[in-house]
Amino acid sequence: MTSAFISTIKLFGSKFCSNEIACAFSTRKLEHIGTLQPLQNKPKYKTGQMFLHKVFAYRGVILFPWTVNVYERKPEIRTPQENDVRNLLKNAVPDIRTYYQVLMDTRDTSSIAMQTEAVTFLSAADLGMGNTNVLYTIPGIDYVAHEDIIPYTSVENAPLQHKLFETFLKRGANEELYATESFNNWQSTNHTCLELSKVYLETTKNIQVTAIPFFLGFKKSRKSQPAEYWWRYCIRVENLGEASVQLQERNWRIFSNGSVQAVKGRGVVGREPVLDSNQPAFQYSSHVSLRSPNGHMWGTFCFEKEDGEQFDIRIPSFILESKSLKSCDLNNDV
């Protein structure tokens, strides 16, 4: 395929060919993987739909749609004080959008600027008792906004590589992919552990931060201490401008039980990602535990421009909510 048929989208690690052909790009070669399909506004994409991620450029397949409340903080709203974050969020009017629970292709995860996203959980054996902080993960499961889905029809014999692909999906008579009974049982059994209900957005100086919290459950102490409640939070930082910037420092505020804990450190998850026109976004997940069933978090990231000038961007405030959560064992039957 000649370069006349290749057009580059503002992505890193991937290129898309003409509007009829989808291609995946590695450091070695450009591969033909299928035919692009028209983008859909409505209805939702179905389980089994193959797609390319618009921002992170990995191959994936849709497993399950979630209807989500999206809270976007407007630039004119002041940075909240510690005592009014919860009221501000409660009074906000959400935008209703669709996000998808997806499987990521393991062939692509090593070349994208994000952690290999994973569902994290406390096993059934650990929930409600014990004093160990053991978290289990199933790698290669991400949550993707509807607008980040680029659908395509695969021409590959093995359209996606993931250890759960054949467990969760099967081909029908028309060669389309459908959910297996194993997937439907797994999704139904672990629905509350997998559920995505709220997404938080805020943009400062052309840097957009997305925060998505997931409640994992709680562990009772064997002694008189309060139970320990756990959450995973997924953070995506995206440079919407043209100038290259580097994430230097994180500053978090975590509120619970009437007090605020400050957490400060270099970079995020051991990295200081550069966001530019070639690699505009970075995504990672981390965890937080509280001796309280509810709390909230907010903070700032310090960025540095190429000329050395530093500036802060806001991390959207998000609520850490507990809920009635039966024990989940996501490894069962997978």
Question: Is the distance from CB of 169 to CB of 46 less than 8 angstroms?
Answer: no
Question: Is the distance from CB of 57 to CB of 12 less than 8 angstroms?
Answer: yes
Of 180, 272, 287, 160, the C-alpha closest to 235 is 287
pLDDT tens per residue across span 251-308: 999 999 999 999 999 999 999 999 999 899 999 999 999 999 999 999 999 999 999 9
pLDDT tens per residue across span 98-112: 999 999 999 998 888
Checking if the pLDDT of 207 tops 70, the result is yes
pLDDT tens per residue across span 141-172: 999 999 999 999 999 888 999 999 999 999 98
pLDDT tens per residue across span 66-88: 999 999 987 655 555 554 556 66
pLDDT tens per residue across span 134-143: 667 889 999 9
What are the phi and psi torsion angles at 147 (to 5°)? -70, -10
Q: Which amino acid is at 27?
A: T
- CATH code of 3-321, in short, is 2.60.40.1470
Question: Is the distance from CB of 240 to CB of 206 less than 8 angstroms?
Answer: yes
CB atoms within 10 A of CB 50: 24
Q: Which amino acid is at 298?
A: W
Residue tagged 């629970």 (tokens): 101
Across the chain, which distance is largest between two alpha carbons, in Å?
A: 69
- pLDDT given at position 2: 28
Interval 235-254 mean pLDDT: 97
* Pairing mode, strands 198-204 and 59-73: parallel
Interval 228-240 mean pLDDT: 95
d(CA 157, CA 298): 45
CB atoms within 10 A of CB 257: 10
- pLDDT given at position 331: 60
- pLDDT given at position 20: 56
Residue 55 has what DSSP assignment?
Answer: T
Going from the C-alpha of 152 to that of each of 50, 66, 155, 158, 173, the distances in angstroms are 6, 21, 9, 14, 19
Interval 124-134 mean pLDDT: 51
What ranges do the domains of the chain cover?
Answer: 3-321
- pLDDT given at position 203: 96
- pLDDT given at position 90: 65
* Pairing mode, strands 95-104 and 59-73: antiparallel
User: Does 234 or 91 have the greater pLDDT score?
Assistant: 234
Output the average pLDDT for the chain. Answer: 83
The model's confidence at residue 36, banded by pLDDT at 50, 70 and 90, is very high
- pLDDT given at position 123: 59
CB atoms within 10 A of CB 141: 21
Interval 164-181 mean pLDDT: 93
